[in-house]
Amino acid sequence: MKKPRPDALVCVIKTKKDRDILLEEKWYRIPLSHAPRRKPKFLAFYQGAAFKEAGERIELYGRIKYWRLKKRKEILPEEKKHPRANELYLQFFLSRVSKLRKPALNRGRVRISFGFTSLEKLRRSENIRGLFDITPMDDILEAMLKKNKIPFKREFVVKRKNGRIFRLDFALKRGKKPIDVECDGYRWHSQKQQRVKDKLRNEELKRLGWRVLRISEEELLKRPESVLKKITKYRDRP
């Protein structure tokens, strides 16, 4: 059976203003430094937790009509003093913005960045994992921890100094420093942009008193005994 062609780029809408621009003016911007290597036919839009009841889901998408390369200050003239005002952006214009019959929900708390899927998957999948064929790493690790009677808290919230939060995959508390165990799927965490974000996140959590242990998808699936040894070693540290 032929696999659906990955022709839809999943993007992120962070603010109500950007959502209003999308619905009213039918365009979306992507920094040139983060632009995809190939041109998509469609854009789909993930709304984060900031949208509350309408958050953590993809419900809007549209076909690309045309695009152009512009500086941010040319796209958003009211934000000429923005730190990235002189940076180049791709501005995608859509023929129309449509709503999926059923939104694709982020039930597994997958971290969303730019990524390709197919329009076919977008229309029939009710779970974001299904868009990207993501291995349920969190479920596999949870089963391992339970089997070995290692206490944990899943999706544990850590408050940051700026008032925002980190949502940890697994929090293990033992000894003086608690442990953040993160499941790094290859699709997202192999990307350069995400690796930089992960490094900055690790550093901030360490300053807040946490140890950070990152588990790769390959290691968890192929060498689970190695993962268990790492977790045990981290827990046994003074």
pLDDT tens digits along 71-104: 999 999 999 999 999 999 999 999 999 999 999 9
Domain boundary among 75, 104, 132: 132
| Residue 160 included in any domain | yes
Q: What is the four-CA torsion angle of 106, 108, 111, 112, rounded to 10 degrees?
A: -30
**Cα–Cα distance measured from residue 142 to residue 154, given in angstroms and rounded to the nearest whole number:** 8
Last residue of a domain, one of 132, 161, 194: 132
pTM above 0.85, yes or no: no
Of the candidates 142, 104, 106, the residue with the CA atom closest to the CA atom of residue 121: 104
Whether 1 maps to a domain, the answer reads no
Residue 195 and residue 206: Cα distance in Å, rounded? 17
pLDDT tens profile 111-158: 777 889 999 999 998 888 788 766 678 888 999 999 999 999 988 889
Q: Which domain holds residue 21?
A: 8-132
Q: Is residue 231 part of a domain?
A: yes
Q: Note whether 54 and 142 are same-domain residues.
A: no
Total domain count for the chain? 2
Instruction: For residue 50, tell me if it sits in a domain.
Output: yes
Q: In whole angstroms, what is the distance from residue 44 CA to residue 122 CA?
A: 8
Residue 24 lies in a domain: yes
Q: How far is CA 236 from the centre of its chain?
A: 31
SS3 of residue 73 by DSSP? helix
Last residue of a domain, one of 84, 107, 132: 132
Whether 190 shows a pLDDT value over 90: the answer reads: no
Give the domain CATH number at 84: 2.30.130.30
